[in-house]
Each structure stands twice: as C-alpha cells, then as structure tokens.
Amino acid sequence: MAGTTRAPAALLEVEKLTVEIRGAAGLVRPVDGVGLSIAAGETFALLGESGCGKSMTALAIARLLPGAARIMAGRVRLGGDDLLALPEAGMREVRGGRIGMIFQEPATSLNPVMTVAVQIGEALALHRGLAGTAARAEARRLLEAVGIPSAAARLDDYPFQFSGGMKQRVMIAMALAGEPDLLIADEPTTALDVTIQAQVLDLLARLQAERGMAMLLITHDLGVVARVAHRIGLLYAGELIESGRREEFFAAPLHPYAQRLFAALPDGAARGHMLAALPGGVPSLDGHFPGCRFAPRCPRATGRCQTEAPGWHGVGERRVRCHLYDGGGEVQIRQRFATGAAATYRPAAAPMLEVRDLAVHFPVKKGLLRRTVDWVRAVDGVGLRLAAGRTLALVGESGCGKTTVGRAILQLTPITGGTVHFDGSPLRSRDRAAVRGMRRAVQMVFQDPFASLNPRLCVGEILEEGMVSLGVGGDAASRQRIVDGLLERIGLTPAMRWRYPHEFSGGQRQRIAIARALAVSPRIIVCDEPTSALDVSVQAQLLNLMCELQQERGLAYLFITHNLAVVRYMADDVAVMYLGRIVEQGPAARVLETPGHPYTRMLLAAVPRVDAGPEGDDDGTTKEKPGVLAELPSQLAQPAGCHFHPRCPLADGICRESYPAAQDLGEGHAVRCFRASAR
C-alpha cells in the first residue's frame, strides 16, 4: 500500500487515515492519507513540527477527536480488529485497556482533587475489574514499577505533591494499569530536564521490553527519536513524507525537509555561524495543495514541485515522497548548511554585571500565627560575572534555583544576602532611581511567552508599555516608529501590531517577548528557558535572531536553560548550578568538553544524541548512567556536606561531612568537588 510503513506481524495498522475539521474559517484537513504500522515490541516515532498533524493522528487512532473533527476516510486495525467500526461503548474498553495514552503535560492530565490511588484505581476497575484492597495493591505495584520511591506511602498523595518528573511517572503508571498492547506517548518529555527526560525514556524502554508493547511516540525532538525509536515516520502538513528505520534515517535522511531539520540543530560545530533555519512555517491546512506541500520552504524546489504532488519512491528499504527520487535518485546525505560569519564583537575586559555571594531564602511558615519554622535556601552564595557581548549559560535541573537567580538580579525577588553590581556599582533595592535605571539596562525574557504577554493588549501596546513605563522612546509617533522597526527586525510586519498574542504561534510569541525586551534598548537580557518546548526549526530561527542582535548591539545574555545543545552553540561561559549553589563554572568549551564535577558529567551523559543508538548508546545497548536515576533532593532537606553526594558515584566520607571549596583548574575553570580530578 502506497504511503504505509509496514513491519512484520503488525499489531497496529493505519491505512490512508484522513481527518477533517469544519470550522468558521472553512474545512481543515490536519491528517491527510496517513498510513503506518507498528509491531509488538516496536517503537514507531511520528516526527515533525508543531501543526503537522502528529497529535491529531494519535487522537484519531484512539477516536478521541474534538467535537468538530471527523474521520473521513481510512482504516485503523489493532490486532486485526477494525477500531473505526466499533461503537463508542466498545472504544471505551479499548482506550485505557488495549491502548494506553501518555499526554504531553501531566499537570493538566491528572485530576488535582483526586489522590493518585483513586485515579489509578479508576483504570483498574474499568479494565481489569479490580477494587478495594486488590486495586490498592496493584496501584502500589504500578508505582513501584515506574520508579516512585516509597510507593505505598505516596498512594494517598495528590498530584501537586509530586515533581514534574514524578507526575509523568504517575501518568505512565495510569497508562499501564489496563495492561495495554499499544502505548501512545504524545511528547512525553517536552520541556523536562535532561536528567528527568533520561529517566522517563529509559523507563519507557524498560517497560516496553518487559511487556512487549508497541509504542507510538509523538515528538519533534530528534535526540529523543534517536534514543528510543526503531522506525520513523516524518509528517509534514498532515502528510507522511518519509519513513524507514531509525539507523538509516539518521545516517542519511532523504527528504529535503528532514535534511533541513538536521541542519537546524544547534551544536558546538555550528558556533559562530547562523543555523540553517527553515524559512516560514507549516502552511495552513485549510486550502488545496496542487503540488508538494513543502515546496514554498524547500531550497531545491522546481516548477514541477509547485504544480504536481509527488508520489512515493523507494530508496532501499525506505520510502520518500519527493520528486528528487523520481527514477531512483541517489540518497541525499545530510549536511550542515552553515552560513554567515563568526561574531566580530570584542567584549570589554571588565564585567558589566557581577553577582557576589547572592542568597535568596524563602521562609516556611506554619500554624495559626504563621511563625517561620524553616527556610528554603533557593539560592545560597552564588557568584557570576557577565561582560558585554558575551553569553553566560546558567544550567541545572528544575528546582536548583536558576530562575530565582535571574529574578533576584532584576530585583523582582527580594535578596536575602550578597550584592548585585552593575557597571561596578552595587545595586540596592531601596535606591529606586538605580533600580529603575538597571531595569532599563537589564531586561528579562520569560519561559512561557503566552503567560508573560498581556492577552488584553495588542502587540503594539505590549511593545510600547515598557517604553512608556521607563520614559524612553520619545513621543507616541516616535514610539510607533520604534515598534514598527522592532516588528520588522523579528520577522513580523508592522501591520501585525494590532493583533493579540493568541493570534501568533509559540515561536512568534517568543520573538515578540524578545522585541518587548529590546524596546528599551537594554544592554543585558536575562533569558529564562527561551527555547523550551519549541520545534527545532523555530528554535533555530530564534537563536539566529539572538546571535544577530548580539553582534549588532553587543548585547550580553544570561541564558538560563537545561538544553545543553543550545549551550554548546550559544554560550561563551557556563555556570552549573545544583541546589542553590554553583558547582562548576568557566569557559563553555572547557566545562563541556572536560567537565570537572560529577554532576556536570551526569547532565552531559543524560542528553539524547542524534548520533547514538537506542537508550543513548552508540552500540544500542543499555548502560547504567550513575546518578541519573536519583531524584533531586528537596530544598527543605538539603544533604549535609556536598549536596550532590547522595547521587554521586565518587562520594566518600569527606563528601558527606563538609562542603568543598572552589578549586581552580586553570583558564578560568573552577569546580567545587573533592574528587574533581577523578574520572
């Protein structure tokens, strides 16, 4: 069957699946003739940008489409049974039973007013007929299977009492409660730390091997695909355009779209050059496509591509939908499309921003009188230096205090101790004039642009708001000219100044957030996870913009992130943070290539690589990564001695008794570890 990826003894077979949505704007076809198959024990990755139809394909398979959507054509078979022919009562037995689902955001998928035991118990009662003591025992066993510590004690906890990684584990336990044959995982690791991501991916691989499940993995992360997938289907604008085995896809992707996705990946080799970001975005799916859907963005498109839709072509055991392979064309080896030149701006020798022994402690209050009974040491003695034109990356797991450092620098969070020096002068929160001047010079871009942009203001008003507040930009006409110029600079048009935030894509909203920061002509921008959850192509566009602005204006960036690939590409210097303290810092090349602290090495080992086999290893075997599986300790119960010693494979007696002093490893590279030289 054309357009279908087949495997022996397929458990799931999808043929020519087509979904249509009727709305006020007309007819939209988010899934158009998609075909795939998955065998028991196999992982099939559905890869592509946001808006390509990945999640809608999964929802159609499980018949969970929104009310306005309809399956117009195709067939879905699970173990030989036609799911599209089943009545809704029959599908209720399939969902959660034969098909388990893990959704992208566990915090919104778990009921906040029901305990974990009750939520898992619902699935056990519906699909396995368990209740009472038997259901509770099985719920505990499931929590233990997904690695929840003290599972019996946590059965009666609510979702808010779990960390992000633990909530995702609870979601996996719920999905496994019905002992499914097929597990659908929709972006299960998006926006998770690299260590939590590694835990979730390793857990899924282990459970799949134990249970022989088929898994449909939906993602835009090429590293995740490389780590766990056996076969891959590349989706674009509702249509499958390439399919084949993971090894062949990563060795030499065929479709120009796949090649450009690889070229857009940030890494150290591309440093100093613009990434090959895909122009434009995924086309609207409410129109007719006379030719190739990727043609408007394709650097190799011809006239034929504009007028004739390509069919499927076989290249070895793979299939690709592209005219380049008409007649058995040669495999197009992927290459990096590096353009542009290295930055020429030379930073000043003296730091523009210097943080000395910064401390931020939050009181823990209890009782009717709200007495302070303890303190959360979110930031505890942090020191940083940032010069003009340079990028300092602050990395670490969620909960280590990175964002608190950024907010404290801008005086958005009260400082308990230490000082922030700007242009050599200490900044005091009571000196309102100094704080006001600093806030013009130091701006912040937050992680979630949708939450940080006022939904009641149009984009023009959002960009002008800061100028009006800080008294810059001149009169209304001057401010409007500045706004129009900023919109053009970030790849939008002046006419878009009257649109509201909800009318833009996620990548466009993040560009608007950057433009808002630029409106007051800052010298430093604190970027808090600005690329988190963005597609690789949108991420490349955003990173290119930031690099261009840095070269043009000599901007300094404090880049808060857990994405180490972005750090390799963007950062001049790196500071690694763990439980409120900096454990290693220095030039990015030295810290990332020759890390001195076991925690830094743990972070690097947890990063999914596009050049690695399943489980993240070149030979495709599972290897234990010391420290990765342990949870980050609570800030309220920080370990004695070196905070990292409970997770450290090198810890000994002195590590448990005292906190290490900083060791100078040369060339500005410092580390706090008694075993810094051990490998």
pLDDT given for residue 116 in this prediction: 95
Q: How many domains does the chain have?
A: 1
In a domain, 551, yes or no: no
pLDDT given for residue 576 in this prediction: 97
In a domain, 125, yes or no: yes
Q: How far is CA 657 from CA 96, 639, 641, 644, 645, in A?
A: 49, 10, 4, 12, 10
Range of the domain at 162: 106-179
Tokens at 677, concatenated: 């030289």
End-to-end C-alpha distance for the chain, whole angstroms: 53
Those residues of the chain that have pLDDT short of 50 are 1-2, 5-7, 329-348, 616-629, 679
Q: What is the 3 state secondary structure string of 193-231?
A: CHHHHHHHHHHHHHHHHHHCCEEEEEECCHHHHHHHCCE
Question: Model confidence over 152-161: pLDDT tens digits?
Answer: 989 999 998 8
pLDDT given for residue 128 in this prediction: 92
**E strand or H helix at 262, and its extent?**
helix 256-263
Question: Model confidence over 653-663: pLDDT tens digits?
Answer: 999 999 999 99
**581 CB neighbour count, 10 Å cutoff:** 22
pLDDT given for residue 75 in this prediction: 96
In a domain, 468, yes or no: no
Question: Model confidence over 248-304: pLDDT tens digits?
Answer: 999 999 999 999 999 999 988 888 888 888 887 888 888 889 999 999 999 999 999
In a domain, 341, yes or no: no
Average pLDDT of the chain to the nearest whole number:
87
**How far is it, in rounded angstroms, from Cα 150 to Cα 134?**
18
Return the closest-CA partner of residue 499 out of 111, 80, 508: 508
In a domain, 442, yes or no: no
In a domain, 165, yes or no: yes
pTM beyond 0.95: the answer is no
In a domain, 123, yes or no: yes
253 contact partners, CB below 8 Å, separation of at least 6: 242, 259, 261, 262, 332, 334
Write out the DSSP string of 33-64.
EEEEEEETT-EEEEE--TTSSHHHHHHHHTT-
**E strand or H helix at 508, and its extent?**
helix 506-518
